[in-house]
Amino acid sequence: MAKKSEKAAPVNPGDSEQLEQLARRVKMLDDRLDNLDSIVTSLVQRVMEKPLTIEVHCPKCGSQIELGVTSNARLRGGI
């Protein structure tokens, strides 16, 4: 089936400002995701090289919780 041609909607002066704001927000989200990706990548590399210990405090009881993260996988050298 052939698509119906769409008519261009009239552009309001406020629309371009909203589009610019949306573009800025999308760029900011992209930057945050890139930063998060870098943090996760460095954390995974560290965990793969040596054990990692994370200490957190319980918000309800205030006790300290220690999490140990280790790996038995090899990053280099193939199978």
Q: Provide the 10 A C-beta neighbour count for residue 71.
A: 14
**Distance from CA of residue 10 to its chain's centroid?**
36
What are 24-77's pLDDT values in tens digits? 999 999 999 998 888 888 877 776 777 778 888 888 898 998 888 776 666 565
pLDDT at position 2 is 53
Q: Is it the case that residue 22 has pLDDT exceeding 90?
A: yes
Q: Amino acid letter at 10?
A: P
Q: Which residues pair with 64 in a beta bridge?
A: 57
CA distance 43 to 50: 11
Indicate the pLDDT class of residue 79, thresholds 50, 70 and 90.
Answer: very low
CA distance 76 to 55: 29
